[in-house]
Structure 1
């Protein structure tokens, strides 16, 4: 394993993306790989500012403005962090990428999903991960997990159940359309089982 590798984790809020990303990072470091953990939005200094707007701004942010802000964050993130890390032969493990924009802004905000995707592809010059792990979970179960965490909801987490149902359906549709890139896992399974499944698929990608 000497070439760069890019793995993204997708899914609704409360599906366990951070847990699985952390487990994968630990395993890869044990294999001697250099790992870069990052997220969208907020993986760069510019991204931190954008994250505060799109997730925590108290005033109204229109759906199209929201989509453009995410694309701006993504352009900066890929150009200044992801591509350089991959060029150095490192592993990038990332919480969310453009699939989230297609699901959240395209389906959730009821914008044109194809236009949202095209915007991200233009912003990143067509950059695609080697593997995208989709952690799928019923939104009602995910909401109970978020409630148990006892933390304030951000703007997207606070949306109504209908919003999150549209987001889930969009993620599943994206995965069905690109099975070579996606690994879809039932996020209700034990964390250890999910981690094993991710590692198995990663071996397949590398081979």
Structure 2
């Protein structure tokens, strides 16, 4: 099974990925947890470049994320799925569509097409969107903000709206979760939704 978690920075994706992995491992499932950008040595280098470097043009940003994702799928995600593991990924294709395609104005279809090409059509069976308002998400972020986290509330509002749009476009795989609930309650809801 391939599961992704999406949402604004500060929405709790990383916490929920960890809680879900622990729960599934207790059920005897082999779990691979990973993140984007990242997951491979190349992906981590791209993460550092894109999140901690200087200005990156919007299409360069989208292309770098796509390159890291291509490597991630080839080196980690697809091999894990092929051996029967469950993969839990903190961000995936939908992040690029929301952030670069919609919020940066590059075009939903154009960014989706680029990413579907590089992952050879691999999409998750389940995508959990942790919804949280922009102010609360910003309040959860630490003092050391990366380049994307330093964007203004207008940008974050566009990203939140983009995720709602994607949830409406892909209802067969999206589950929208209240990201303001207690972490344990969210974890229970996510685990329960997998049994559908």
TM-score surpassing 0.5?
yes
User: Which among 51, 56, 62 is matched to residue 52 of structure 2?
Assistant: 56
Partners in 2 of 1:157 and 1:141 — Cα distance?
Answer: 13
TM-score by length of 2: 0.98
Q: Which runs of 5+ in 1 are unaligned?
A: none
Cα deviations across residues 36-59 of structure 1 (Å, max 9, x unaligned)?
Answer: 1101101101101111111000x2
- Superposition deviation, residue 108 in structure 1: 1.9
Secondary structure in structure 1 of the residue aligned to 2:9: coil
User: Which among 129, 136, 140 is matched to residue 145 of structure 1?
Assistant: 140
Partners in 1 of 2:41 and 2:99 — Cα distance?
Answer: 23
Secondary structure in structure 2 of the residue aligned to 1:203: coil
Write out the 4+ residue segments of structure 1 that deviate beyond 2 Å after TM superposition: none
- Superposition deviation, residue 111 in structure 1: 1.1
- Superposition deviation, residue 12 in structure 1: 0.3
Secondary structure in structure 2 of the residue aligned to 1:185: strand
Q: Aligned-residue CA RMSD in angstroms?
A: 0.8
Say if 2:110 is the partner of 1:118: no
Say if 2:152 is the partner of 1:160: yes
Say if 2:6 is the partner of 1:14: no
Partners in 1 of 2:37 and 2:28 — Cα distance?
Answer: 28
Say if 2:65 is the partner of 1:70: yes
Secondary structure in structure 2 of the residue aligned to 1:19: helix
TM-score by length of 1: 0.93
User: Which among 20, 24, 34 is matched to residue 20 of structure 2?
Assistant: 24
Aligned to 1:91: 86
Cα deviations across residues 164-191 of structure 1 (Å, max 9, x unaligned)?
Answer: 0000000010001111100101101111
Aligned to 1:100: 95
Aligned length: 196
